[in-house]
Amino acid sequence: MSDRETSGAIDDTAALWAARVDRGPLSNDEQSALDAWLDADPRRLGAYARARAIDLRLDQARVFGADLAEFQEQEKAGPSRRGLIGVGATAAAGVGVAAVLLRDKLGPLTDYRTRKGEIRVVPLADGSDLTLNTASEVTVRYSQAQRDIRLINGEALFNVAKNPERPFVVQIDDMLVRAIGTSFTVGRRDDGSLRVLVREGVVEVSRTGGEHAPVRLVANTRLIAAAGVPPRAAAIPPAEVTRDLAWREGMIAFEDTSLAEAAAEFARFSDTRIVIEDPEVSSRTVSGLFSANNPIGFANAVALSLDLTITADAREVRLGQAAPPHQTS
């Protein structure tokens, strides 16, 4: 028994094979080599399965990449950077919303738009940038006194270069979102509700009518304004902010999201619809990070992990209950 290969040595080789499979499909020769290696000791198959399972588990860690980014950013930035943003925002708040209404010489108006499934990063003249989500449109007009953005459709993320002398204002419908040096998204959903999500810094939200005092939103806050009800602002965890912005990378992130909601989210990006008729199925939840323009890939992953049946054609993918499992024990 003493000259037996140690479990640790088996794990070493198993990790190499799992990494090889992680790279892509094996060639026939490689498959034969793997099979030969596995055949020599039953423990090897177990070690290899374990290594593969860990590798697959890591793919599911992707959705938590937000935590990692946050973690690293905090290490890098330290407290001083946050302090500075706070001071800048406070000073600029004194300039007042009135600035929004003071139009001076208007600069040229530029229009940017994306088609469904398209995401576009637009660098702006002052060092700010905006990222347009799927099926979105903005107009940009910079003047001496102000940077005016109008969101016509969809959703956009704004990373604003700090300049207290020249407020950065995004208007959507009758809502004005005013920032100095910060990062935030503004969008309208299909139901007409308006959303603002603040990633960094502080923004001020007001209505064009001006009858309400502006609302200040700090980092990691989401504001939802639907017709007929007062706007609601709520603090959300930083990880959720980053998940919410997964679309910048062409991804959609879910965490305990119902399949019905997930299907609706994919519909924003792709014309291939995900159809779920069974309410029991559509209420089941999913977590993970998925490619926004690949609803079929998403449906396959869901079908596999939730044990659902899947049928697909060019226009739609249907998910349903699998037949009851057959007893093999």
Q: Which of 26, 33, 55, 207 binds other proteins (CB under 8 A)?
A: 55
Q: Does 300 bind other proteins (CB under 8 A)?
A: no
Contact 270, 299 (CB under 8 A): no
Least distance (Å) between residue 60 CB and other proteins: 7
Phi, psi of 54 (to 5 degrees): -65, -40
- 2 or 115: CB nearest other proteins: 2
Is 254 a binding residue for other proteins by CB under 8 A? The answer is no
Q: Which is nearer to other proteins, 15 or 260 (CB)?
A: 15
In this structure, are strands 285-291 and 308-312 parallel, antiparallel, or unpaired? Answer: unpaired
User: Phi-psi category of 250—alpha, beta or left, where left has phi over 0 and alpha has psi -120 to 50?
Assistant: left
Residue 309 binding other proteins, by CB under 8 A? no
How near is the Cβ of 325 to other proteins at its closest, in Å?
Answer: 4
- Taking each helix axis from N to C terminus, what angle separates 7-23 and 28-39, rounded to the nearest 10 degrees? 160
Binding range to other proteins, per CB under 8 A, among 68-76, 107-115, 207-215, 220-228: 68-76
- Provide the terminal-to-terminal Cα distance of the chain, rounded to the nearest Å: 34
Instruction: For residues 302 and 320, give the distance between their C-alpha atoms in angstroms, rounded to a whole number.
Output: 11
Q: Is 58 in the site for other proteins (CB under 8 A)?
A: yes
Pick one of 33, 52, 112, 312: the residue that binds other proteins (CB under 8 A). Answer: 52
Q: Is 92 in the site for other proteins (CB under 8 A)?
A: no
Cα three-residue angle 92-98-103, rounded to 5 degrees = 105
Nearer to other proteins, 7 or 283 (CB): 7
Q: What's the closest the beta carbon of residue 283 comes to other proteins, in angstroms?
A: 19
Nearer to other proteins, 14 or 140 (CB): 14
Applying CB under 8 A, among 71, 174, 210, 309 the residue interacting with other proteins is 71
Instruction: Identify the bridge partners of residue 286 per DSSP, sorted by sequence position.
Output: 257
- Look up residue 260 and give its two tokens: 């019905």
Task: Pick the binder of other proteins from 169, 179, 289, 292 (CB under 8 A).
Answer: 289
Touching other proteins, residues 205-224 (CB under 8 A): none
318 binds other proteins (CB under 8 A): no
- Provide the residue count of the chain: 329
- Cα–Cα distance for residue pair 200/85, rounded to 1 Å: 8
Per CB under 8 A, 57 contacts other proteins: yes
Choice from 28, 29, 51, 167 touching other proteins (CB under 8 A) = 51
Integer Cα distance of 157 and 199 in angstroms:
9
* Interface stretch with other proteins, choices 9-17, 119-127, 161-169, 263-271 (CB under 8 A): 9-17
Contact predicate 161/142, CB 8 Å? no
Our finding on whether 53 is near other proteins (CB under 8 A) is yes
CA separation for the pair 312, 318 (Å, rounded)? 6
x/- track of binding to other proteins for residues 18-47 (CB under 8 A): xxx-xxx----------x--xx--xxxxxx
Q: Is 121 in the site for other proteins (CB under 8 A)?
A: no
- Helices then strands (H, E): number in the chain? 9, 19
Total interface residues for other proteins by CB under 8 A: 57
Is residue 48 a contact point for other proteins (CB under 8 A)? yes
Kindly state the helix (H) or strand (E) to which residue 152 belongs, with its residue range. strand 147-153
Residue 85 CA from chain centroid, whole number: 24
Q: Contact 320/278 with Cβ under 8 angstroms?
A: yes
- Cα(214)–Cα(191) distance, integer angstroms: 24
**Which residues are at the interface with other proteins (CB under 8 A)?**
1, 7-8, 10-12, 14-16, 18-20, 22-24, 35, 38-39, 42-62, 64-65, 67-68, 71-72, 249, 251, 287, 289, 291, 304-305, 325-329
